[in-house]
Amino acid sequence: MSGKQGQSIKLKCNHFMGSKAFVASRAEIGEQLEGVEPDRIEFYKDTHYSVVKGWSSQHAETNCNSMNDLKLYILREESLQ
């Protein structure tokens, strides 16, 4: 597969940002948080979860939970060293 057909397969979950660039959106969220840009997991949740609509897809929720689990695992491993 090549071209658009291959690209559409890679896109597994939608976000709620519309056509805004990720860099611009991350900076905008940082301004709302008093100049502190969110980490990648927080940014993922901000762009794939809405208080009104919930998660953009089940896959997006699973991804976020997996990232949080991995982050906790790494923090525990680092604290044991």
| Strand (E) or helix (H) holding 54 | strand 54-55
Query: Helix 22-32 vs helix 40-48: angle between axes, to the nearest 10 degrees?
Result: 100
The residue ranges of every structural domain in the chain are 4-80
Q: Is 60 exposed, middle or buried (0-12, 13-18, 19+ CB in 10 A)?
A: buried
Question: How confident is the model over 35-68, as pLDDT tens digits?
Answer: 787 889 998 998 899 999 999 999 999 999 999 9
Q: How confident is the model at residue 9 (pLDDT cuts 50, 70, 90)?
A: low
Query: Quick check: pTM over 0.85?
Result: no
Cβ atoms of 41 and 64 within 8 Å: the answer is yes
Cβ atoms of 71 and 79 within 8 Å: the answer is no
